């Protein structure tokens, strides 16, 4: 894999984000603006460094609304911004403009490309971060670019344990092995290098043919779902939909063995008064579904009633 020249590799995305948070703290950044629909592991590293997170309203596409970010930048001066390419969606022109103007004015912009890597994408951030294990069957692996003071990343036992559990999950992919591995990853916040196994899997993986197949499956699935509310029309990591009965649909699909690749439940620590997107669910577009798009779409329609 050709990593950008200044990339630092870590085992998990949260560890790459920790390196960013540590550097931001050294630059005396004390607050972060982030989307109000997020994976908790994106934000915990910043909180762990004492950086206060202010969430910014997201739109239908689950990305920050440009005017809301613009306003938040004025209210919370000196904040850094975390822009996430959630469900593989790119910033539209207005949001890209706000991010670019903020950056020109000295705001540090972090871009999380976990759902869009390895597609070519947004690189106009101070830091680009991606966890690799969402898109490639690798036990671990993540990278971050843009660190001005790249630290020496040293192996640690918590990360080794989490990586071993992820390998067991890949060898025997059940809900139990998945949860066991995620629980151990939740203990592995201290940055460590990726495993050798991860690096060789990422190197050997045929990214080009995977990308082509995903894009084709996603397009066919969207076509078969015409009329339903698609959240990420251009992305190829998954098909994300909005539906008022998203949870029932997910349960019905799970009973057929269909599990969306990305699901963010409401973080328990959020005040109940804050809104949370519970209308969103995702559909897989990996090779198991190539040629079965109509069948999958018909299950979705049946589940949606």
Ligand X SMILES: Cc1ncc(COP(=O)(O)O)c(C=O)c1O
Kindly list the residues in this chain that would bind ligand X in the complex (CB under 6 A).
Answer: 12-14, 39, 41-42, 84, 112, 114-115, 131, 133, 142, 185
Q: Which is nearer to ligand X, 77 or 269 (CB)?
A: 269
CB 194 → ligand X: shortest distance, Å? 10
Q: Which is nearer to ligand X, 108 or 113 (CB)?
A: 113
CB 114 → ligand X: shortest distance, Å? 4
Q: Which is nearer to ligand X, 66 or 114 (CB)?
A: 114
Reduce the DSSP state of residue 31 to 3 states and report it: strand
CB 111 → ligand X: shortest distance, Å? 10
Residue number closest to ligand X, CB atom = 13
Provide the phi-psi class of 203: left if phi over 0, else alpha when psi is between -120 and 50, else beta: alpha
Report whether the peptide linkage leading into residue 118 is cis, meaning its omega lies within 30 degrees of zero: yes
CB 158 → ligand X: shortest distance, Å? 12
Q: Which is nearer to ligand X, 170 or 228 (CB)?
A: 170
CB 99 → ligand X: shortest distance, Å? 17
Strand pairing category for 8-10 and 31-35: unpaired
DSSP class of residue 147 equals: -
CA distance 140 to 191: 12
Cα dihedral value 151, 207, 111, 132, nearest 10: -50
CA distance 6 to 245: 44
Q: Which is nearer to ligand X, 37 or 299 (CB)?
A: 37
Q: Which is nearer to ligand X, 107 or 282 (CB)?
A: 282
Whether the Cβ atoms of residue 112 and residue 42 lie closer than 8 Å to each other: yes
CB 72 → ligand X: shortest distance, Å? 20
CA distance 206 to 245: 36
């Amino acid at each position: 894999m050709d990593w950008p020249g200044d990339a630092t590799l870590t085992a998990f995305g949260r560890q790459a984000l920790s390196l960013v948070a540590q550097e931001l703290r050294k630059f005396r950044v004390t607050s972060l603006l982030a989307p109000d629909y997020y994976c908790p592991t994106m934000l915990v590293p910043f909180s762990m460094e004492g950086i206060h997170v202010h969430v910014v309203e997201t739109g239908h596409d689950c990305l920050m609304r440009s005017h809301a970010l613009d306003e938040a930048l004025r209210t919370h001066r000196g904040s850094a911004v975390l822009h996430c390419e959630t469900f593989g969606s790119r910033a539209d022109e207005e949001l890209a403009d706000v991010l670019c103007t903020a950056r020109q004015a000295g705001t540090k912009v972090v871009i999380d490309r976990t759902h869009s890597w390895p597609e070519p994408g947004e690189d106009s951030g101070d830091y680009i971060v991606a966890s690799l294990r969402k898109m490639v069957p690798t036990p671990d692996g993540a990278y971050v670019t843009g660190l001005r003071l790249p630290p020496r990343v040293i192996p640690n036992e918590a990360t080794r344990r989490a990586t071993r559990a992820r390998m067991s999950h890949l060898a025997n992919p059940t809900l139990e092995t998945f949860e066991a591995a995620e629980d151990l990853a939740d203990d592995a916040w201290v940055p460590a290098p990726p495993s050798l196994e991860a690096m060789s899997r990422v190197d050997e993986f045929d990214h080009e043919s995977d990308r082509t197949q995903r894009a084709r499956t996603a397009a066919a699935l969207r076509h078969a779902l015409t009329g339903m509310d698609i959240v990420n029309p251009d992305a190829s990591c998954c098909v994300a939909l909005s539906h008022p009965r998203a949870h029932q649909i997910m349960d019905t699909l799970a009973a057929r063995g269909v599990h969306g690749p990305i699901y963010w439940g409401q973080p328990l620590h959020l005040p109940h008064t804050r809104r949370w997107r519970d209308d969103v669910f995702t559909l897989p577009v990996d090779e198991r579904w190539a040629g079965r798009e109509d069948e999958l779409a018909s299950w979705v329609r049946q589940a949606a009633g």
